[in-house]
């Protein structure tokens, strides 16, 4: 199985900060890496698919990069509504998908 | 508007059974593979099961090792519905269960539409 190591598990940041979350795959997954945002009590929401393509309607302050084994989600200027948990998901090994353990972004 | 609505969750004793349903609307259900994903209280997301777009005997079906042999995924394209039959339930199956649409190759197989979730509690 492909393991996804996501870091950090949590972070504290202020509004306006630049935030970076990383995911590392245990083997190459090409660009089959997706990022989700989840707020408490809500379903996950797709932000980025294919490592770097912004889902329709997602603000441009979100961006994704990487290929192979190392991937990054960046929020260029953190907004109040961005305080949430973020998960990566590999979809290379169809359909034995695996999520990262998540990153909780909290208010500093 | 595209919607997925889960139902069927509840409280069940260990060893018991439960059947979850997911009703789809706003898109051509029969064209999309579907998934079940769960989230234990305070924990991360776990992929549970996948079914290809066909609802016939030619469906491709996969399960996470944690549920293999106990859970059965199925779909009825005529009813725009996805199901998860859960048998021999364990306390560790306690979670919110989400159905999620598989976006296919054009979306790098990401799960692009999610339901609101249904809660399953396994406890004596």
* Radius of gyration, alpha carbons of chain A: 13
Does the structure show a pLDDT above 70 at B57?
no
Pairing of β B10-12 and β B118-122: parallel
Does the structure show a pLDDT above 80 at B59?
no
Check CB contact under 8 Å for B33 and A32. Answer: no
Ramachandran category for residue A61: left, alpha or beta (phi over 0 → left; psi -120 to 50 → alpha)? alpha
Q: How confident is the model at residue B104 (pLDDT cuts 50, 70, 90)?
A: confident
Check CB contact under 8 Å for B108 and A50. Answer: yes
Do B67 and B84 touch, CB atoms closer than 8 A?
no
pLDDT in tens, B6-21: 999 999 999 999 999 9
Alpha carbon distances (Å) from A42 to A21, A53, B97: 21, 23, 12
Out of A42, A44, A51, whose CB is closest to B45? A44
pLDDT in tens, A38-84: 999 999 999 999 999 999 999 999 999 999 999 999 999 999 999 99
Q: Which tokens is A24 given?
A: 């590392």
What's the gap in Å between the CA of B46 and the closest CA on chain A? 7
Chain A residues in contact with B45 (beta carbon < 8 A)? 36, 38, 44, 87, 89, 99, 102
Nearest CA in chain A to B42: A40
pLDDT in tens, B78-90: 999 999 999 999 9
Does the structure show a pLDDT above 70 at B58?
no
Q: Name the burial class of residue A87, with classes exposed (0-12), middle (13-18) and buried (19+) by CB atoms within 10 angstroms of its CB.
A: buried
């Amino acid at each position: 199985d492909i393991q996804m190591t996501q870091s950090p598990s949590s972070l504290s940041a202020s509004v306006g900060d630049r935030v970076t979350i990383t995911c590392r795959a245990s083997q190459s997954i090409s660009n089959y890496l997706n990022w989700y945002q989840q707020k408490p009590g809500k379903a996950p929401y797709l932000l980025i698919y294919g490592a770097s393509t912004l889902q329709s309607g997602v603000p441009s302050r979100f961006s994704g990069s990487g290929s192979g084994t190392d991937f990054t989600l960046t929020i260029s200027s953190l907004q109040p509504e961005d305080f949430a948990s973020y998960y990566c998901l590999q979809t290379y090994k169809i359909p034995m998908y695996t999520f990262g353990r998540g990153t909780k972004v909290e208010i500093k | 508007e595209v919607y997925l609505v889960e139902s069927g969750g509840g409280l069940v004793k260990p060893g018991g059974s439960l059947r979850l349903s997911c009703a789809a609307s706003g898109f051509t259900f029969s064209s999309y593979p579907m998934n079940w994903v769960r989230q234990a209280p305070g924990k991360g997301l776990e992929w549970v099961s996948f079914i290809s777009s066909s609802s016939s005997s030619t469906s491709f079906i996969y399960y996470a090792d944690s549920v293999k042999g106990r859970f059965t995924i199925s779909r009825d394209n005529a009813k725009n519905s996805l199901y998860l039959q859960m048998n021999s339930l364990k306390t560790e199956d306690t979670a919110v269960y989400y159905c999620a649409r598989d976006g296919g190759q054009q979306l790098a197989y990401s799960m692009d539409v999610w339901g609101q979730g249904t809660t399953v509690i396994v406890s004596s």
